[in-house]
Amino acid sequence: MNIESNQILGKWTEYTLSNDLGMRVSVLDFGGIITKIMVPDRNGNIENVVLGYRNYQDYQTNPNYFGALIGRVAGRIQGASFNLNDKTYTLAKNNGDNHLHGGPDGLHQIVWDVSPFQTDEEVGLTLTHRSADRDSGYPGNVEIKVTYTLTNHNQLILDYAAKSDQTTPLTLTNHAYFNLSGNLKTTIHDHHVTIDSSRFVELDPNLIPTGKLLDVEGTTFDFRGGRVLGNGFNNNFEQNKIADSGYDHYFIFDHAEAYQATLQDPVSGRVMLVTTNEPGVVMYTSNGLADGLPLAEGTSRKYLGVCFETQASPASLHHDGFPTVILNAGEPYQKQTVFTFRLEN
């Protein structure tokens, strides 16, 4: 187990966590951004399985949120406003008339305080930040702690903890784009996904939840038995068409299986298992990723990565029947998501 740190652009620090099996995870204090996850394929080749910029200065704007911590509220908030306890709160608009991923000054844009730690079996980073009352329009002073832990079982554990002095919306996530081919050798068309979910959230043409939950049965959104992502990269189903011929939808977990989601690449043999105590996940298949951005191992293009944004649903601010994002004053917020990397048998 090992931790290394390097100065980046004279203003940030990148930490690299290494375990005894050769897995490495690199994280910036800026935005809590995961810049690289290095894991072996079936032939022992250790390669990067997340998208990241070639030039670190591109993380300053990072419109694609590569690898970043997202909050206070992950996802879109309709109309950039919400009502809470008979009061209306107005947020920054950064996605048309809507508020996306905590706004332009969200948690992806701050430099976190970082404390590394190490034991015989794990190595990690504790990131802390105090988000002040009315940051980006949200009520409450919120103390936030996010812990990245790398184990000797090739697990990357993300623990999210927070407490607010006022009742406020809060749902945190990480926005890493995964591509298990390694070093971006291919798109994710042939990546095989399972999701333990029988219901997903219907979106309108602006990617805002309509308030309806749809049954996955008989659709390209039924991942309960597993399917390749390319099945949904089309306009044959209206909800795929709305998401620019892909997926950008919230799936509510049934929590009936050991893993809430799995991702497999048949060529490399890499498998990623996702376990979480979150109520659901936004799966985003980089449908809006522009061509030609200089990435660490090539150039960007559509369908180059898939995000598993484990979280509650911001639709709960405007509709009943969705997993709530409301954190009551003084109540502890404790969420965990674990990404376990293995090889196919």
Residues 237-249 have pLDDT tens digits of: 999 999 999 999 9
Mean pLDDT of 103-113: 97
**Distance (Å) of CA 207 to CA 44, 78, 189, 265:** 40, 10, 22, 28
Which residues are paired to 159 by β-bridges? 147, 336
Instruction: Express as a percent the part of the chain with pLDDT over 70.
Output: 100
Is pLDDT at 228 greater than 80 in this prediction?
A: yes
Question: How many other C-beta atoms are found inside a 10 Å radius of the C-beta of residue 11?
Answer: 11
- The β-bridge partners of 205 are none
Residue 339 has pLDDT above 80, yes or no: yes
**Residue pair 42/73 in contact by the 8 Å Cβ criterion:** no
The pLDDT, as a whole number, for residue 105 is 96
pLDDT tens-digit readout, 317-328: 999 999 999 999
Which pLDDT tens digit goes with each residue over 2-39? Answer: 999 999 999 999 999 999 999 999 999 999 999 999 99
Q: Any idea which fold 2-343 has?
A: Beta-galactosidase; Chain A, domain 5 (2.70.98)
Distance CA 288, CA 193 (A): 20
| Pairwise CA distance, residues 283 & 308, whole Å | 5
Q: Read off the pLDDT band of 344 (50, 70, 90).
A: very high
Q: Which residues contact 190 (CB under 8 A, 6 or more apart)?
A: 228, 229, 230, 265, 266, 267
Question: For residue 119, with 0-12 CB atoms within 10 Å meaning exposed, 13-18 middle and 19 or more buried, which class applies?
Answer: exposed
Mean pLDDT of 104-115: 97
- Contact (CB, 8 A) for 279 and 189: no
User: So what's the pLDDT on residue 345?
Assistant: 72
Specify which residues 141 forms β-bridges with.
none
Active site residues: 175, 309
Give Cβ neighbours of residue 137 (< 8 Å, ≥ 6 apart).
Answer: 80, 89, 90, 91, 92, 99, 103
> CA-CA distance, 121 to 183, in Å (whole number)?
27
**pLDDT > 90 fraction of the chain, expressed in percent and rounded:** 99
Only one residue has tokens 């043409």, namely: 205
Q: Indicate whether 142 pLDDT > 90.
A: yes
What are the tens digits of pLDDT across the range 29-63? 999 999 999 999 999 999 999 999 999 999 999 99
Give the pLDDT score at 275. 98
State mean pLDDT over 60-89: 97
Mean pLDDT of 125-154: 98
pLDDT at residue 76 is higher than 90? yes
Sign of CA pseudo-dihedral 177, 73, 64, 76? positive
pLDDT tens profile 57-73: 999 999 999 999 999 99
